[in-house]
Structures are given as C-alpha cells and as structure tokens.
Structure 1
Amino acid sequence: MRSTTNLLIVNLALADLLFIVFCVPFTASDYALLFWPFGEVWCKIVQYLVIVTANASIYTLVLMSLDRYLIVVHPLSSISIRTKTKTYWAIAVTWVVIFSACVPLLMAHGHVVYQFAGEEYTGCRFLHKEGWSYYAFQIAFFATSYVVPLLLICGLYIGMLTHLWRRTTPGGRVSVRRQRGKKMRVTRMVCIVVCTFAICWLPIQLYLLLKSLALFNTSPVTVVIQITSHILAYMNSCMNPFLYAFISDNFRKSFRKIIHCPR
C-alpha cells in the first residue's frame, strides 16, 4: 500500500478530512447563529485552517496528476523520481508552503461588531475595515486555489492523453482492441476527475468572488445559493479519496487483500 500513488491518496484523504472538520461545523454555526460563540483566537485559527486544508487537498490533486503523468509518459525515466522518500518530501513541502503562504489570514480575520434588529452582535469576519482588501483576497484565492491548479491538472492530463492516443504497440486485432479499451478507460477517468473538481469548486469560487465585488445584497436567495455552493465543495472533499483510490488498480488490489479474511 506504500506506493507513491497510495501515499498521495492518504494525504488527500487527510487533507479532505481536516477540511471537513474545520469548515463544516463552523460554517454551519455561522448560518444558525447571529453571533460567533468561539472567541476571536479560534475565529482566526479556523479561517486560517479552512484555507490551508482546502489548498492542501487541491494541490495534492495536482501532485497526483503529476504522478499519473510520469507513470504514463515517462514510466522508466521517472522511476528515480517517484520514490517514497521524494513523495514524502513533496507532500511535506506542499504543506509547509501552504501553511506559510496563508499566514496573513490569521491577521485578516477577527471579531466584527454589527447591528441586527437594533441589537449588537459579534461575528467572525474578514477585517476589510482595518485595511485588508477582501476583493484582493478573493482574487488571490480564486487564482491560486482554482484557476492555477485546474490549468496544471488539465495540462498534465492533456499531455498524458496525447501520449496515450499517439502511441501504438505492435500486435494483432485483439491487442489493438485492448489498447483502445485501455485508452478509453483512462480518458473516461480523466474526464471524471477534472469535471468533478471543476464543477464542485466553481460555484463557491464564483459566489465569493462576486460577493467581494459587492454585486449583490444578502437575501434569502443568495443565502441558499451560498449554502448550496458550500455543500458542493464539501461533496468534492467527501468524494475525492474514493474517486482516486478506486480508479487505481493497485489500490483496489491492495484494499481487497487487507479486507480479505481467509477462513
């Protein structure tokens, strides 16, 4: 089970689990309560960890796309690259870079006092009145957490599919049919992976970007749209480990060995 691919699958599962743990309960409390009951320190930590774990999950998908590209396009020359040690290093560097890059979020979030129905409440909000640009943050989040990784994933998979469909192996009609069947399976897998990520994350990314531009006011309709968009993003994190694990033949075989109980 300790192949490079499976190590990345485990890291993906960990990042997705942490994203759900830090995001879902506190986002739900935002919708259910008129105030933030967890204190300012936890407000900063939660907002920080939500972005960190979301990015860790997304960039693990990029690493997995690179891993699959190397397997298909450079199977021999990449053997020295696709080692367990280098995979551990790649995972560690990814987490460290994301943790470091997101540090400003600790300062950009905090308690905000607001009026509702004639009473004062405190919420956990972006501190745009203290000089932080919410628009700049959302542009950066949209670019680094959606556009850039999606372009990288698409580029790697396009390169992989181009290599697969151009390559021909000598053999009879049966061999040709097998090759075509394998190519179709890989193509289908790529479409599922890319479309799942793109569809699940696009609504919340667009909603938050448009919200930062103040293009609409909060209303029951926009709240429903925001909740639905959040749920789609959570669904992606729930599906990722299963999607990536069970399209891996080696993972499925190893998983069967683990759960098999000989009589």
Structure 2
Amino acid sequence: MIMENISWNETGEEFRYRPPFQRQIVPTQIVMPLIQGLIGVIGVVGNSMVVYVLCTRLKQRGNMNVLLMNLAIADFFFIIFCVPVNASYHALYEWPFGEAFCKITHYVKNITAYVSIYSLCAVSITRYLTVVKSAKSSHLRTKRSAIISAVLLWLIIATANIPVMKIYFTITMRLDRFTSKTICSYQKNSKDMEILTATFFTMSYAIPVIIICLTHILILVHITKNSSNITASSIQRRKNASRIIIGTTIAFAICWLPMNILMMMVHCFKMERKGFMIPALIAECMSYANSCTNPIVYNFVSKDFRTALGQSIGLCSHIQLPTNEPSHTGTLTTKVASSKNGESVC
C-alpha cells in the first residue's frame, strides 16, 4: 500500500498516539490484524493451490498458464512479505522493524501490485493474438516467450519502483521525557508523493484496465464478424477462457478503486484528511483482499480448474487429465474423462 493507515484519523491530527500505559486498545488494533490475518491465510492457501495445479496438473496447457502462475506468485509474495508486517503495524500502533524494512516493504507492495495487473494484461494480449492474429503471432505465443515476458515484467517493474524507497522513511517522535514512538511514513504534502500517487493510478490501474477492456472488445468484434466460420464449440471455448481474465480484472478493479480514489483525493487534489480514517481502513482491506481473490475467481468461473484442483486433493480420482493433447484455449484447460456411467462427479 502506498497510503499509511496511521496517518488517517478522526481528529485530523497527523499522528495520534498515547503510551500503552495511558491508553486503551483501540478497535482497529484488533479488527485490522484479524481481517488481514484472514486475508493472509486464504491467500497463502489459494495461491499455493493455483501454483501447484498449474505446475502439476496443467503444466502442458499453454503459454498463458505461465502468466497466470506469475500472477499467483506475485500475490503469494505480497501476502508472505507484506500482510504480516502490516498486521503487526496495526496491532502495535507503531513501527518496530527499522527504516530499511520500512522502505523495502513499500517497495515490495508496489512491485507485486504492478506485476499482478500487468500479468493480466499479458494474458489478455495473448488471448487477443490467439483469437484475432493466430497465424501471424504463433512465434510469440510459445511457453518460452511467456517465461521471458514474466521475467522481464519483474525486472522492469523492480527497476522502475526503486524511487519508492526514497519516499518512505521512519520517524521517531519524542512524546515526553520517557516515551517515544516510531512510525513508517512519508513527508506530508510532498511533491514526490503526489507524483507517485498519480503514477500509481495511471500505470497500475487506469492503463492496464483500459488495455484489458480494449483487447476483449476487439476479440468480441472479431468473433461476431466471423461467427459463420467459427464452430459453436470453438466460440464456447474462447468464452470460457475469457471468463477467467474478465473475472480477475473485475476483482482487481473493484478491490483497488477505493484506495486509488482516496490517494488521488489526498495527495493530488489536496483534500483534507479529517474524517477519512474509516474509508481509508476499508480501502486498505479491499486492496489487500485482491491478493486472495484470483483463486476464488478461478474456482467459480473455470470448471477445468475445479476439476484439476479436485484431482489434486483427491476428490476426483477417477478423472484423468490429458498429458499429450494440446489445449484449445491455452488457459486452465483440461480434458475430463467420463466416469463409467458417462457423468463426472466434479
């Protein structure tokens, strides 16, 4: 997250703190760690299962699964590295991890947010090339190309976000002769924070969402124009593959919209912070929750993923996934063998 929860409170004061022996525990010290702990558990389990299924059950299913795995890995790193730290920050009401970790935590948060959405962009563009430019783009749609794209995403985004570490630092405040408090924050009303906020909104939210929407509009137009030359089963397969991308994009857009709005209001439009504590905490939880939504989306919109997951955990042992046949869609696709009575239980 780019915005610090401790800077937003009901009184409008920049930092409100009392030593532990002078204050009661505030509700957010309990509620926020519990919510973020739940997000962490769901995210670790869900993304681990996604990586396992893609690596073992669907490993021959096409180049786009490489990019979906890249997205899951980014979410996993975010959960492992950032969620426990932020939950501790809420619980302790101060920063105990030192300045270096303050900078690194925000650096990792930004990197994983960018990698997640641009992995979705790469998947969406690959879908467009597969459907609309199939003959001309076959050399770009290999697993090797997908791996190179994933590595380049991490390298470019990691390099571009280095300035984030300059913006964040720790501040130790002397409260009285015997008590001090350390926080991880940024300079209020700084130009750097304004630029970072505008860049984050534009590059990690607006542009990626536009790219994904545009590619799917072009895919829909192509299918509509060529419907007479495309079989009904082929159209259905393409729709099934698109549901995963559209579902994860909608989840991303919903989860990150409140945070981006609040950040723009405060840092770019210079609105007063007073009264923003509750909206900021809700926005923070929503943006963190995005790291655990993708496995849920896959499970709801993709029967093939449910089948592979069920076999992985032993719920559908009679189902056999093909190992030699290529995927029609290239994304989370399996072929389900019928049970003896011709029906699948999954």
**Both proteins in one fold, TM over 0.5:** yes
TM-score by length of 1: 0.83
Task: Quote the sequence identity (%).
Answer: 30
Unaligned runs of 5+ in 2: 1-58, 320-346
Unaligned runs of 5+ in 1: none
Secondary structure of the equivalent of 1:169?
helix
CA deviation vs aligned residue, 1:13-47 (integer Å, no higher than 9, x gap): 11011122233223333333332100011111111
Deviation of the 1:124 alpha carbon: 0.6
What is aligned with 1:206? Answer: 261
Are positions 1:124 and 2:180 aligned together?
no
What is aligned with 2:160? Answer: 101
* Contact persistence 1:12–1:241 (CA under 8 A): no
**What are the within-5 Å matches in structure 2 for residues 159-174 of structure 1?**
159-169=218-228
* Contact persistence 1:30–1:36 (CA under 8 A): yes
Question: Larger Cα Rg: Structure 1 or Structure 2?
Answer: 2
The code of the aligned residue for 1:125 comes to: S
Give the alignment partner of residue 231 of structure 1, picking from 263, 281, 285. Answer: 285
The code of the aligned residue for 2:93 comes to: L
Q: CA–CA distance in 2 between the matches of 1:29 and 1:240?
A: 25
Deviation of the 1:182 alpha carbon: 6.4
The 1:106–1:191 alpha-carbon spacing in structure 2 relative to 1, beyond 3 Å, is closer
Larger helix share, 1 or 2: 1
Name which of structure 1's ranges 92-101 and 236-245 shifts more when overlaid on structure 2: 236-245
CA deviation vs aligned residue, 1:35-79 (integer Å, no higher than 9, x gap): 210001111111111101111111111111112212222233332
Deviation of the 1:138 alpha carbon: 0.5
What is aligned with 1:89? Answer: 148
Deviation of the 1:112 alpha carbon: 1.9
Secondary structure of the equivalent of 1:217?
coil
Deviation of the 1:188 alpha carbon: 6.1
**What are the within-5 Å matches in structure 2 for residues 1-263 of structure 1?**
1-2=59-60, 3-114=62-173, 120-127=180-187, 133-169=192-228, 192-212=247-267, 213-219=269-275, 222-244=276-298, 247=301, 251=305, 254-255=308-309, 258=312, 259=314, 260-261=316-317
Secondary structure of the equivalent of 1:75?
coil
Two-structure CA RMSD over aligned residues (Å): 3.1
Secondary structure of the equivalent of 1:37?
coil
Name which of structure 1's ranges 34-43 and 21-30 shifts more when overlaid on structure 2: 21-30
Q: CA–CA distance in 2 between the matches of 1:70 and 1:204?
A: 32
TM-score by length of 2: 0.65
Deviation of the 1:158 alpha carbon: 1.0
